[in-house]
Chain A
Amino acid sequence: MAHDHGHPHDHEHTHDHDHGPVEGSWRDERADDPLSVSRRAFLAGAAVVAGTAAGIGGAAAGVGQGTAAAAPGGRTPVNPWSGNNRFYAGDHHIHTQYSPDAQYTVEQQVAKGQQYGLSWVVITDHGSVAHQKFSVDQVTPNIEASRAAYRDMLVYQGLEWNIPGAEHATVFLPPGRNTVDILKAFELAYDGSVLASNGVIPRATAAAGEPYAIQALQYLDQQVRSGRTDIALMFANHPSRNGIDSPHELRGWRDAAPRVAVGMEGAPGHQIAASPLSTASPRSGRGYYDRSPNQDSFAGYAPNGAENPYRTYGGFDWMTAKVGGVWDSLLAEGLPWFVTSTSDSHQVFGDTYRPGTQDYATTGSRGAPVDTGVPITTYGDFWPGQYSSTLVAAQSKNYVDVMRGLQSGQVVAVHGRLIDGLDVRVRAFRGDGDRRGVTLGGRTFVARGGDVKLDVTIDLAAGPNFNGQVPRLAKVDLISGPVTGPVTDRDTLTAPQTRVVKTFDVTSSAGGRRVRLDYTFTDVQQSFYLRLRGSDGNQLDSAGNPLIDVVGNEDPFADLWFYANPVFVDVV
């Protein structure tokens, strides 16, 4: 059984054959079968026992599902390597006319996502009183219509949640009979803007909201446990933009609901906001990262002469871009936390549409967007898929499987089509251990003193990106650090022992289809994790790290990176 338990997708595979994915409509008749619901709950429970849902378990007590089966020191591989994963590109952060600061119809955004090569999109309009009251009932039939019109696209219904006490987050569910009810109840009870409007907390980002954020995630987790939805996910969006997602909040979300709160935007959207072609005034930062500390910001993120956490680096959020920074400090605990890349598409640079004239506060919609016929160059966004892709390896292209792929960290965040795919295998190579090995987001094991081998196959861009260039991958960094266990100070924001252990120069691969890399960790004495990032090599500092993005002067296509999610190695 150990093998089966370590093979998360076997469970989902069986599930899908029994019931079929709940696809096509949130009113799917199959999902109305009470037996189906109860069996889903049963299978969800089985997955919990198998340690698959939370995936990687944890060193911390009370981390939740999966801990027993996949705790560090155990012998239960997570995300076993198969070598035949298929990646599906998508975007979990897209706005429509049902946000007060956006404009497009759902159908327009889905059509653009398809045009730009995406397989899945999540509609995430801003949470608010007006959105909860008026918008959800309008967007739901629009999403259903887009599912029917674009059969090859997965169109998820979600919310851009104002995390009480913190930044925004994507929350989304697969289609199901309870999906809309859960989203509405969640927003009413736990959206920071709604709580502030109702006087429960002084403002959406005030620290007084932090306990509500924890309760909110526990609520979502309870919806999964009770079988009301197969899965629910949360990703923290633009985490460094205002410096208000403190490290203890990130850890709190992760630990409150490790099956639900699984990661953050490694790269925010709005990637063309600092383009030299922009006519916006004042000029903004890449990602619209042009802010500075406010009353709710975390003191540890204060800018200084060495760095500015409130800016992007190579298009990626500082938490992700800094080696040994916030992301690594989370991974060094031995717990999963995954990164993505999204468009946050509100208003697209060079597009001709402006918002409709409807009053949002009283109707929950901007109304139909208006075509001005003139390209508008003050906007800072790309269309879904035009620049940012979250590549997810999934067993099949259905709603629950793609979410399982995201939940288990089989994910690569890519800008400007720098790569088309990435196969990663990490295995015990000498000495006792997991010979098959695991892939992205996974956890493998080796006996102390053994060797661990990393094999990487990168699919280079097989064609031009949407700027008409075939990107050239110049280098790949292998980053690794020891797993040092739970932190004492929950606001820890560095992992000083994490470093680039090897840089692969792959410039000679230009024109080829694939790059193969390998690296062996010898005589391994301590549990560790590894991750990969790659660059076009255009904008590097002397240590090979990304440069801070210059306000008002960043061509996004001249500075491309990918970031892959970690693999953990337990020494037993």
Chain B
Amino acid sequence: MTGALDDALAGSGRAAVPVRLTVAELLARTAIDRVVGIGGEALPGDEVDTVDGYLRPVRHPDGVELLVDPTGPRTWRPVEIRSPHECCGGHG
């Protein structure tokens, strides 16, 4: 386990986040300070697909960060999602 994966958005704030929104909207509506795209810059107008509104950013000394993977041109998805693919009946 690396550092402090902090459920910084636990509580009422999470439910208010739509499934798809722009990086700028995400920053405006949540406690997230920055959205970091892996392998490229996540621009304010880029779209973030949260899958189901689940957000679990990491708290760093210099702010709360959401890491996102590319899912297509100018679209991203949080690295951590609620329901990744399960194998072995969920025991794997």
Residues of A at under 8 Å CB distance from B?
Answer: 99-101, 126, 128, 162, 168, 193, 204, 273, 280, 282-285, 288, 290-297, 299-308, 310-311, 346, 360, 380, 547-548, 550-553
Identify the interface centre among B2, B37, B89: most chain A CB within 10 Å of its CB: B2
Judge whether B39 and A306 touch: CB under 8 Å. Answer: yes
Judge whether A283 and B71 touch: CB under 8 Å. Answer: yes
* B63 on interface, CB distance cutoff 8 Å: no
| Cβ distance A287 to chain B, nearest Cβ, rounded Å | 10
Judge whether A305 and B85 touch: CB under 8 Å. Answer: no
Judge whether A126 and B1 touch: CB under 8 Å. Answer: no
Total chain B interface residues with beta-carbon distance under 8 A? 28
Rank and list the top 10 A-B pairs by shortest CB-CB distance, nearest first.
Answer: A302-B2, A292-B80, A299-B2, A288-B85, A100-B89, A305-B36, A290-B84, A291-B84, A282-B51, A308-B38
Collect the chain A residues with CB atoms within 8 Å of residue B2's CB. Answer: 293, 297, 299-302
Collect the chain B residues with CB atoms within 8 Å of residue A288's CB. Answer: 84-85, 87
A and B contact pairs by CB, cutoff 8 A, 16 listed: A100-B88, A273-B85, A284-B85, A290-B81, A292-B80, A293-B2, A293-B80, A294-B1, A299-B3, A303-B38, A303-B67, A308-B79, A548-B38, A550-B71, A550-B72, A552-B72
CA distance A162 to B88 in the complex (A): 11
- Contacts A282-B83, A299-B2 given; does A551 touch B67 at CB 8 Å: no
Judge whether B79 and A292 touch: CB under 8 Å. Answer: yes
Q: Which DSSP category, helix, strand, loop or mixed, fits chain A's interface?
A: loop
Interface flags, B34-58, vs A, CB<8A=1, else 0: 0011110000000000011000000
Query: Which B66-91 residues have C-beta < 8 A from chain A?
Result: 67, 69-72, 77, 79-81, 83-89, 91
Collect the chain A residues with CB atoms within 8 Å of residue B87's CB. Answer: 101, 288, 346
Judge whether A551 and B70 touch: CB under 8 Å. Answer: yes
Collect the chain B residues with CB atoms within 8 Å of residue A310's CB. Answer: 79
* B61 on interface, CB distance cutoff 8 Å: no
CA distance A193 to B88 in the complex (A): 11
* B27 on interface, CB distance cutoff 8 Å: no
Beyond the given A302-B2, A553-B72, please list 13 additional residue pairs across the A-B interface where CB-CB is below 8 A.
Answer: A99-B88, A100-B88, A126-B92, A282-B83, A292-B81, A294-B1, A304-B67, A306-B39, A346-B87, A548-B39, A548-B69, A551-B70, A551-B77
- Write the chain B residue with the least CB distance to A242: B92
* B5 on interface, CB distance cutoff 8 Å: yes
| Cβ distance B46 to chain A, nearest Cβ, rounded Å | 14
CA distance A342 to B49 in the complex (A): 31
CA distance A392 to B81 in the complex (A): 38
Collect the chain A residues with CB atoms within 8 Å of residue B86's CB. Answer: 101
Collect the chain B residues with CB atoms within 8 Å of residue A308's CB. Answer: 38-39, 67, 69, 79
CA distance A297 to B70 in the complex (A): 22
- Write the chain B residue with the least CB distance to A167: B92
Judge whether B1 and A551 touch: CB under 8 Å. Answer: no
- Contacts A297-B1, A307-B38, A308-B38 given; does A101 touch B89 at CB 8 Å: yes
| Cβ distance B83 to chain A, nearest Cβ, rounded Å | 6
| Cβ distance B85 to chain A, nearest Cβ, rounded Å | 4
CA distance A346 to B85 in the complex (A): 13
Collect the chain A residues with CB atoms within 8 Å of residue B71's CB. Answer: 283, 550-553
Collect the chain B residues with CB atoms within 8 Å of residue A551's CB. Answer: 69-71, 77
Collect the chain B residues with CB atoms within 8 Å of residue A300's CB. Answer: 2
CA distance A282 to B84 in the complex (A): 8
- Contacts A100-B88, A290-B84 given; does A307 touch B39 at CB 8 Å: yes
